[in-house]
Amino acid sequence: MTTEPNTLAEQIEKVALDETAEETHVNEATVEGNSGEKKKKKKKNNKKKKGGINQFFPDGVFPEGEWQEYTGSEENLKRVTDEEKRYLDRQANNKWNEFRKGAEIHRRVRQTAQKNIKPGMTMTEVAESIENSVRAYSGTDDSLKGGMGFPCGVSLNHCAAHYTPNAGDKVVLQYDDVMKVDFGVHVNGHIIDCAWTQTFNERYDPLLNAVKEATNTGIKTAGIDVRMTDVGEAVEEVMESYEVELDGKVYPVKCIRNLQGHNIKPYQIHGGKSVPIVKNGDTTKMEEGETFAIETFGSTGKGYVVHGGECSHYMKNLDAPPNAPIRLDRAKKLMQAIDKNFGSLPFCRRYLDRIGEEKYLLALNQLCRAGLITEHPPLVDVKGCYTAQYEHTILLHPTRKEVVSRGDDY
């Protein structure tokens, strides 16, 4: 007898795992031994788990995202038909395909999550269900070959980013909450960074529409040789044309001016370039072959965030001072575990719990003080306001740009 899945975790796992694999019950089969005696042999229960998302794409080729042509210079307009550019694009097919695999995992997990996330769930249940499903779809136990690109953020209301529950967190999702669901999927270090805002009360729709349209405007504006400030200016113009009425008061939607998009490098979620969401005078240009996370944040508050709340997100510092002193032997062992399991990918305390680390806070704090690990605490606007986020990953091919994480949902 089987029962319908009744939690978010079960709903997503039901899709992620191979449901057609046979589960044989323990039974007895009669076999004849060398002596002629009849012996009884037991069959073991064996529900076989196949290779995650690969089972749906046996040829190993994953769906392309949304294509957009470059605009602007005459050179960019010719890229689609330029044979040299087409050749360069084909040479990177393996890389593009790994991004597409991560994007397909993201789409499948988020579309199931969107249907099943409900008020009354704990934030831990929401985050861990999504994370476990990404791991199941990835089809590998090696977290450096595939899986979570960074912890699942479930930031609520005035908290715009970088909140995921630590162990013991009792926060429960409410009907009037505005939750930003931001999680990454990586395949061999190629990271998909993609986010949406989940609400249940329709009164927030104008806020969500503002941020969604602003993100799509940023995507449309981005491209090879485009200046960062020009993307920010286009986003700001669209975002701040919206307003939202809450409890009889009208609030302008503001860009959160100190939150930005960014380029993505292998195993490095922030690659060094920032994509503003307001005009800021940055003349740095996007370049051929780069990958960018185009993300925008809107707020009914000040439009400016500061650190607030208990830290949960951490990441290895790639610019750490050489030979940084680590006094505690426990800190040295923790650093080895971080290198082995996460490398330069972001992680959270729940991930340390998951790999069996215990009583690690003192050691973790020492690694942070030594500059080997960086803390990324929650980012909050003024209490009582609401913030929203939408984000997609784009690939700047030599010929066209690909919104690789695009789905039917957003």
In this prediction, residue 8 carries a pLDDT of 53
* Same-domain pairing of 231 and 369: no
How far CA 300 is from CA of 103, 145, 163, 181, in Å, comes to 31, 40, 19, 18
pTM for this entry: 0.88
The residue type at 64: E
Residue 52 Rama label (left phi>0; alpha psi -120 to 50; beta) = left
Beta strands in 276-384 (DSSP E): 291-299, 306-307, 313-316, 347-348, 373-376, 379-380
Q: What residues have CB less than 8 Å from 201, skipping those under 6 apart?
A: 175, 176
Answer yes or no: is 158 a known binding residue.
no
β-bridge partners, 313 = 348, 376
Each residue of 262-290: pLDDT tens digit? 999 999 999 999 999 999 999 999 999 99
With CA atoms as reference, report the closest residue to 134 among 208, 184, 200, 168: 184
* Same-domain pairing of 295 and 201: yes
- Domain count for the chain, please give it: 2
With CA atoms as reference, report the closest residue to 394 among 299, 281, 273: 273
277 occurs within a structural domain: yes
Q: Average pLDDT of 13-41?
A: 41
Chain-centroid distance of CA 65 in Å reads: 16
In this prediction, residue 164 carries a pLDDT of 98
Average pLDDT taken over every residue of the chain: 90
- 18-32, 110-124, 316-330: least confident range: 18-32
Bigger pLDDT: 186 vs 38: 186
Residue 161 three-state SS: strand
In this prediction, residue 215 carries a pLDDT of 98
In this prediction, residue 91 carries a pLDDT of 86
Q: What residues have CB less than 8 Å from 274, skipping those under 6 apart?
A: 228, 260, 261, 262, 282
In this prediction, residue 214 carries a pLDDT of 98
pLDDT at 31 over 50: no
Q: How far apart (Å, rounded) are the C-alpha atoms in residues 154 and 127?
A: 7
In this prediction, residue 75 carries a pLDDT of 78
* Same-domain pairing of 285 and 180: yes
194 occurs within a structural domain: yes
* Same-domain pairing of 270 and 341: no
In this prediction, residue 404 carries a pLDDT of 98
**Is 345 exposed, middle or buried (CB count within 10 Å of its CB: 0-12, 13-18, 19+)?**
buried
245 occurs within a structural domain: yes
* Same-domain pairing of 322 and 209: no
Q: How far apart (Å, rounded) are the C-alpha atoms in residues 346 and 135?
A: 15
410 occurs within a structural domain: no
Residue 332 sits in a domain whose CATH number is 1.10.10.10
Answer yes or no: is 186 a known binding residue.
no
In this prediction, residue 78 carries a pLDDT of 81
What's the CA dihedral at 267, 271, 276, 277 to 10 degrees?
A: -10
Answer yes or no: is 182 a known binding residue.
yes
* Same-domain pairing of 132 and 147: yes
In this prediction, residue 72 carries a pLDDT of 74
* Same-domain pairing of 240 and 94: yes
Each residue of 157-199: pLDDT tens digit? 999 999 999 999 999 999 999 999 999 999 999 999 999 999 9
Q: Are 313 and 348 in contact (CB under 8 A)?
A: yes
Each residue of 345-401: pLDDT tens digit? 999 999 999 999 999 999 999 999 999 999 999 999 999 999 999 999 999 999 999
Residue 386 sits in a domain whose CATH number is 3.90.230.10
* Same-domain pairing of 227 and 359: no
Q: Average pLDDT of 316-340?
A: 92
* Same-domain pairing of 344 and 262: no
pLDDT at 17 over 90: no
295 occurs within a structural domain: yes
269 occurs within a structural domain: yes
Beta strands in 64-166 (DSSP E): 66-68, 146-156, 159-161
* Same-domain pairing of 191 and 322: no
| Residue labelled with tokens 């960019």 | 76
76 occurs within a structural domain: no
* Same-domain pairing of 287 and 237: yes
Q: How confident is the model at residue 14 (pLDDT cuts 50, 70, 90)?
A: low
- Alpha helices (H) in 222-268, listed in sequence order: 228-239
In this prediction, residue 74 carries a pLDDT of 76
18 occurs within a structural domain: no
In this prediction, residue 325 carries a pLDDT of 85
In this prediction, residue 28 carries a pLDDT of 36
Residue 135 three-state SS: helix
* Same-domain pairing of 218 and 267: yes
In this prediction, residue 36 carries a pLDDT of 44
Q: Which residues are catalytic?
A: 182, 193, 262, 270, 295, 391
Counting other chains too, the contacts that 174-180 makes at CB distance below 8 Å and 24 or more residues apart are 174/119, 175/119, 175/200, 175/201, 176/200, 176/201, 177/119, 178/204, 178/207, 178/386, 178/387, 178/388, 179/117, 179/126, 179/154, 179/155, 180/153, 180/154, 180/155, 180/156, 180/387, 180/388, 180/389
In this prediction, residue 172 carries a pLDDT of 98
Answer yes or no: is 190 a known binding residue.
no
Bigger pLDDT: 104 vs 10: 104
* Cα-based angle 130, 269, 133 (whole degrees, multiple of 5): 15
pLDDT at 204 over 80: yes
Q: How confident is the model at residue 89 (pLDDT cuts 50, 70, 90)?
A: confident
In this prediction, residue 81 carries a pLDDT of 82
With CA atoms as reference, report the closest residue to 104 among 56, 145, 68: 56
Q: How far apart (Å, rounded) are the C-alpha atoms in residues 243 and 241?
A: 7
Q: Show the domain range for 283.
A: 58-71+82-310+378-403
